[in-house]
Structure 1
Amino acid sequence: MNTMDASLRTLARVFRRESHRVLDSERTTIQGADGMLMVLQLAMAEVNKKEYGDFGVALSEALAVWKYFLLEKLQLSPNDISPPQSYDLIRKEYDCFLKRTNTLDLIDVFVMFKELRMNEEPEEPMTALQMFQFLISDVKLSEKESVLVCPATPSNKADILTPQIKRVVRRVFCSYLALFVNSKNDLALAYTLDNPSRSLGHMAFTDLRHAARNSSSSLFLTVTSFIRAIQLGGKGYAPPESHPLRRHVKGLSEFLSFVDQCQEILGETPSPREAGFKVVSSIRAALAKGRSNGDPVYRAADDTARELKEQIGQICTAQAQLPVGTGISPARPRAYAINHSTAYGGRETVKVLMTLLDEEALAPPCRNKAELLSEDHAALNGSAGACLLALYKSPEAPTGSSPKPLRNRICSQQENVKSKVIRPTIRSQFACTYKDADLPLNRVLDFPSTSQLPTCVHPAPKQNITVSASVDYKFGSTEMDNRLAVHVDPETTNSSPEGQSALGKHSGNSWNGAGGKRTQPAQLQKATGTSKRKLANRECVELGRDENQPPQKRPPAKAPIGGPEKKNSKAASRKLLAGQGKLTSFFRL
């Protein structure tokens, strides 16, 4: 252990022992160097959203603000660095996030040491400049100490990916432990909500953040209150169906069930060592579930679980060797005590986990800041996830104004330019009275583009059709003689020009008027396919009568006076039944 590590451990030990003098909660956790940079990035993105409407921040801008932030908070004079734009808002947002999540950073612990130290502790274990050098992690030093890695090959490709995956897996392990100790830690919940996969992706986390903001509570408390209200609230107290978290009930229930299971182990296992081992094994089993032995995540979970168990064992051994009467009292009757002075079970285990998390916060920061800020924590669940900044960014609602791909825009423009053919519509029963207008050629012909339109158009000659009708009515008969004669110009009927419809006009009819012969309605219907109703409509048109008016009544036929024609009448041609004549004459009288 070098001098820097010993100094940092002294800071954390004194802070953890005397934090009850300055803090309202004993479960306050410490953000390490990596956590500080992530929180600062989120604060900058939130300020950019308020100022410019875009929740995002460039990597170069984040690193520049990070350096100025460390110098300003450690009260070192940043002479050669100008203050970033909207730095006061960024610092305020950063402090609000730490206060809301019940966390502190290493600089806060360093500043509190002078107030919390006792006479036996050294006056200043490390200077502000040393703390700055530790947090900034000089890039030149990392380049010298970096180990050359051979290029990726099929044999060692999995081994090269293991360090990055192992770092992500270890962060998920520690986030679970931090959530068990400090339920207000929203950053820990962001890492554990969908690891392992529970179908709680970007949309679920966004809905949870909005619900927590509306209720002014932490993310974990929002999940707990929502699921408990569904399970125990009944019909009168359950959340409505329109609640945005209703879509994620299954995943949130699985997450809360796993947390309850681990907290039950902490509360019911008296031995801190055994309880810590069981909790770490539960997290390992959840992450490795459904994976093979050769999977990188499976191996990283095994290695991380083994390392954490060894670390927990060392902490338990060190606390057992401490003299009795020093350190934190296991039964402090204060309102801010662990478990709120309501239960003793699990208190010792929580103290061990807090010491483990403090040592994790004192770990050296990640040298590659770009890899840290763009790390994909959701890759452990087998889906394409996103970094922490993208996870906190709300998904954009579809507005319909987003640009379409170039190919789709070209196709849609061609469809607008391309002429469309008008399909023949269904005509009514009075279509014979309509007069068809000649359609323009560009509405009839279908051309792929305007460049292929014909330059010269020769319309087909029209047929000269003369229709003559002569109608004779005989009032003494039940039949109506219709004489219809159609005279077609032979010059126009000898040849049919190309492109002209063989059936002629839509409203025209074909009648056989050759030789002036009369065509019977049945023969006319069979020849032309025209119904009787349409033939009757044509008769109305030829007679000049409106088709919508009811037909005129025929005058009653006068019975002929005597003569042999009486036998031709319908009354005379009918055969009477036996006795019908006498009965008819009786009623006439």
Structure 2
Amino acid sequence: MVVMEESLRTLTRVFRRECHRVLDSERTTIQGADGMLMVLQLAMAGVNKQECGDFGVALSEVLAAWKYFLLDKLQLSHNDIPLPQNYDLIQKEYDCFLKRTNTVDLIDVFIMFKELRLNEDPEEPLTAMQLFQFLIGEKESLGKNESFPVCPATPSNKAGICSPQIQRVVRRVFCSYLGLLVNCKNDLALVYTLDNPKRSLGHIAFTDLRHAACNNGSSLFLTVTSFIRAIQLGGKGYAPPESHPLRKHIKGLSEYLNFVDQCQDILGETPNPREAGSKLVSRIRAALVKGRSAGDPVYLAAEDTDKSLKERIGQIHTMQMQSVVDTGISPARPKAYAINHSTAYGGRETVKVLMALLDEEALAPPCRNKVELLSEDHAILNGSAGVCLLTLYKSPEAPTGSSPKPLRNRVLSQQEHIKSKVVRPTIRSQFACTYKGDELPLSRVLEFPSGSQLPTCAHPAPKRTSVEEECDSPGMDKRLKEATNLKCKGPSESAMGEHSGNAWKQAGGKGTQPEPFRRATGTLKRKLANRECAEHGKEENQPPQKRPPAKAPAGGLGKRSSKSAGKKLIAGQSKLTGFLRL
């Protein structure tokens, strides 16, 4: 295992020394075995979303693709392993994620070593098969981990002190803060530091931040910085609008950015790398243990990590100073276009120490429990069950509207739908059945929804009397035909016609009409009106018919006429009174 560590350090040392020849940025960070597996999981979930619409992937599929991916990238034989589905898209998504976050993996370092090494460097410190065994986590490469106590992840001891999972997660948060100071494009570093310690920046806040970064085409940290700086310094004219999705998370994002600014101030204002690194680690520890008791597992893990990182930073700084003295080469000065030469110089030495520390963390052996790493590793500090890196990157599920609405809402919507189809007239009266082109009322539509069921008259006509039967005879129809046609000729006249006395006068009659004639004329008019209503479907609005009046004694008509003649009638009252008598 010691030989493997020395070989990997040789690869990274040559890479750091000559990476400016092949990379655009000297602050490129290296993803270790665990980081590579997490990025592969995100890449597979992203491809599944493109192909199937669901951002997710099974753990078994990730582990199967992980082995094939390592063999294929190391150019080893993988004939006995089935090809993962959409492997070309997965590989492309993986490379795009590394390029977007300004990171490389260990296999990239191994491949670039051949073209970056010099003559005095060793030819091949390790083979591709040895690197594959190290990344896959076989027994030959895990001899160092045998000394750690192994406790199963059960609910009783999941957060216990004996479990190395808490120490690994806490150490990753420390290194993520330090890595964010080195490479601000590293999105995974922001993922582990955004809500650690608790800042009310959970799943929804991270989703809004990721969408805003995707729209802007920038990294997550640059999106946070530009948003907060625009609010603090932009004024009303340049500040983001109130509808911006990050407005509701402004408090937590401000706290996060203020903490990172404090770390950057320490990085630039402290010229001694050993002292600067110690201050940075102490500041991160103070933030993580705030509000926790001394017996809390996270508190104890933070104390141990703080002590070990400070010790290692001092050792790395001593080694770098010795290498400079032995070779006689002075460190390179900052570039001429640096705004603050003192800050750039002091920060540069500390950044070199931090980069060496992060490279050693990337060379650490992979996690033995892949389930904890991919499913539960991110939920240790805040205690939120079920939160992992894959769940955090998955957007919260929006309501689809498939659930049934309450019955009251469905009834109201159905009524509104029916009302929108029915054109109601502006004026309606109890004689609406006499108007042509009128629609059915809403009450009749709701009562008779079926088109095959025809509505019937709301007020059925009374039984026929002997006079009505006499009027239905052919002789009576022949006698009244001429009088009825005269009234139907006028286009402005109503369908019910005028009083029967006018028809008698137009037919040439003189004096008072006989009682049978008036009754027959009124009955025929009612029959014609009923037929017209039946054609247009308006019988339900026909006013109720009165019973035929009993025979008046002789002289009764004369008394009623003389009595009505003595009263003074208003205009149109005679016509309406005669109509109502029918």
Higher relative helix content: 2
Aligned residue number for residue 217 of structure 1: 218
Aligned residue number for residue 60 of structure 2: 60
SS at match of 1:30: strand
Structure 2 residue 21 is the aligned partner of structure 1 residue 13: no
CA spacing shift, 1:40–1:158, aligned 2, 3 Å: closer
- For residues 172-227 of structure 1, the C-alpha deviation after alignment (integer angstroms, 9 at most, x for no partner) is 11111111100000011011000000000000000000000000000000000000
Aligned residue number for residue 331 of structure 2: 329
Task: Answer yes or no: is the 8 Å Cα contact 2:33–2:365 preserved in 1.
Answer: yes
- TM-superposed deviation, 1:370: 1.5
- For residues 543-588 of structure 1, the C-alpha deviation after alignment (integer angstroms, 9 at most, x for no partner) is xxxxxxxxxxxx9xxxxxxxxxxxxxxxxxxxxxxxxxxxxxxxxx
Structure 1: gaps spanning 5 or more residues:
413-554, 556-589
Alpha carbon RMSD of aligned pairs, Å?
3.3
Counterparts of 2:220 and 2:364, CA distance in 1: 27
Task: Answer yes or no: is the 8 Å Cα contact 1:376–1:385 preserved in 2.
Answer: no
Counterparts of 1:9 and 1:17, CA distance in 2: 12
Aligned residue number for residue 531 of structure 2: none
Task: Answer yes or no: is the 8 Å Cα contact 1:195–1:378 preserved in 2.
Answer: no
CA spacing shift, 1:243–1:310, aligned 2, 3 Å: same
SS at match of 1:78: coil
Q: How many residues align?
A: 412
- TM-superposed deviation, 1:85: 1.1
Aligned ranges for residues 525-540 of structure 1 at < 5 Å?
A: none
Task: Answer yes or no: is the 8 Å Cα contact 1:15–1:113 preserved in 2.
Answer: yes
Counterparts of 1:123 and 1:47, CA distance in 2: 38
What amino acid maps onto 1:273 in structure 2? R
CA spacing shift, 1:403–1:77, aligned 2, 3 Å: farther
Counterparts of 1:153 and 1:106, CA distance in 2: 33
Task: Answer yes or no: is the 8 Å Cα contact 1:272–1:348 preserved in 2.
Answer: yes
- TM-superposed deviation, 1:350: 0.4
Aligned ranges for residues 199-238 of structure 1 at < 5 Å?
A: 199-238=200-239
Aligned ranges for residues 382-461 of structure 1 at < 5 Å?
A: 382-384=383-385, 386-402=387-403
Counterparts of 1:6 and 1:181, CA distance in 2: 24
- TM-superposed deviation, 1:345: 2.5
Task: Answer yes or no: is the 8 Å Cα contact 2:334–2:345 preserved in 1.
Answer: no
Counterparts of 2:153 and 2:197, CA distance in 1: 28
Counterparts of 1:328 and 1:33, CA distance in 2: 34
Task: Answer yes or no: is the 8 Å Cα contact 2:159–2:166 preserved in 1.
Answer: no
Aligned residue number for residue 116 of structure 1: 116
SS at match of 1:104: strand
Counterparts of 1:208 and 1:157, CA distance in 2: 31
CA spacing shift, 1:304–1:237, aligned 2, 3 Å: same
- TM-superposed deviation, 1:329: 3.4
Aligned ranges for residues 180-199 of structure 1 at < 5 Å?
A: 180-199=181-200
Aligned residue number for residue 135 of structure 2: 135
Counterparts of 2:401 and 2:168, CA distance in 1: 41
Aligned residue number for residue 359 of structure 2: 358
What amino acid maps onto 2:37 in structure 1? L
Structure 2 residue 39 is the aligned partner of structure 1 residue 26: no
Counterparts of 2:155 and 2:395, CA distance in 1: 39
Which TM-score applies when normalising by structure 2? 0.66
- For residues 289-336 of structure 1, the C-alpha deviation after alignment (integer angstroms, 9 at most, x for no partner) is 00000000100100111111111011011111114456783315388x
Counterparts of 2:154 and 2:386, CA distance in 1: 26
Q: Percent identity?
A: 78
Task: Answer yes or no: is the 8 Å Cα contact 2:149–2:163 preserved in 1.
Answer: no
Aligned residue number for residue 255 of structure 1: 256
Aligned residue number for residue 489 of structure 1: none
CA spacing shift, 1:123–1:341, aligned 2, 3 Å: farther
What amino acid maps onto 2:194 in structure 1? L
Counterparts of 1:379 and 1:57, CA distance in 2: 22
What amino acid maps onto 2:53 in structure 1? G
Counterparts of 1:86 and 1:213, CA distance in 2: 23
- For residues 323-373 of structure 1, the C-alpha deviation after alignment (integer angstroms, 9 at most, x for no partner) is 4456783315388x9999983221100000000000000000111112111
- TM-superposed deviation, 1:111: 0.5
What amino acid maps onto 2:391 in structure 1? A
Task: Answer yes or no: is the 8 Å Cα contact 1:207–1:245 preserved in 2.
Answer: yes
Counterparts of 2:151 and 2:175, CA distance in 1: 31
Aligned residue number for residue 240 of structure 2: 239
- TM-superposed deviation, 1:159: 4.1
Task: Answer yes or no: is the 8 Å Cα contact 2:293–2:299 preserved in 1.
Answer: yes
Aligned residue number for residue 44 of structure 2: 44
- For residues 469-493 of structure 1, the C-alpha deviation after alignment (integer angstroms, 9 at most, x for no partner) is xxxxxxxxxxxxxxxxxxxxxxxxx
SS at match of 1:225: helix
Structure 2 residue 4 is the aligned partner of structure 1 residue 4: yes
What amino acid maps onto 2:19 in structure 1? S
- TM-superposed deviation, 1:375: 2.3
- TM-superposed deviation, 1:380: 1.0
- TM-superposed deviation, 1:384: 3.9
CA spacing shift, 1:254–1:341, aligned 2, 3 Å: same
What amino acid maps onto 1:109 in structure 2? V
CA spacing shift, 1:343–1:152, aligned 2, 3 Å: closer
Counterparts of 1:183 and 1:154, CA distance in 2: 36
Aligned residue number for residue 430 of structure 2: none
- TM-superposed deviation, 1:81: 1.6
Aligned residue number for residue 295 of structure 2: 294
CA spacing shift, 1:293–1:75, aligned 2, 3 Å: same
CA spacing shift, 1:219–1:259, aligned 2, 3 Å: same
Counterparts of 1:188 and 1:89, CA distance in 2: 25
Task: Answer yes or no: is the 8 Å Cα contact 1:339–1:347 preserved in 2.
Answer: no
SS at match of 1:197: coil
Which TM-score applies when normalising by structure 1? 0.65
- TM-superposed deviation, 1:22: 1.0
SS at match of 1:344: helix
Task: Answer yes or no: is the 8 Å Cα contact 2:32–2:361 preserved in 1.
Answer: yes
Counterparts of 1:24 and 1:68, CA distance in 2: 30
What amino acid maps onto 2:4 in structure 1? M
CA spacing shift, 1:340–1:80, aligned 2, 3 Å: farther
CA spacing shift, 1:56–1:241, aligned 2, 3 Å: same
SS at match of 1:352: helix
Aligned ranges for residues 336-375 of structure 1 at < 5 Å?
A: 343-375=344-376
- For residues 22-54 of structure 1, the C-alpha deviation after alignment (integer angstroms, 9 at most, x for no partner) is 111111000000000000000000000000011
Aligned residue number for residue 313 of structure 1: 314
Structure 2 residue 105 is the aligned partner of structure 1 residue 105: yes
CA spacing shift, 1:292–1:45, aligned 2, 3 Å: same
SS at match of 1:242: coil
What amino acid maps onto 1:266 in structure 2? L
- For residues 412-459 of structure 1, the C-alpha deviation after alignment (integer angstroms, 9 at most, x for no partner) is 9xxxxxxxxxxxxxxxxxxxxxxxxxxxxxxxxxxxxxxxxxxxxxxx
- TM-superposed deviation, 1:381: 2.6
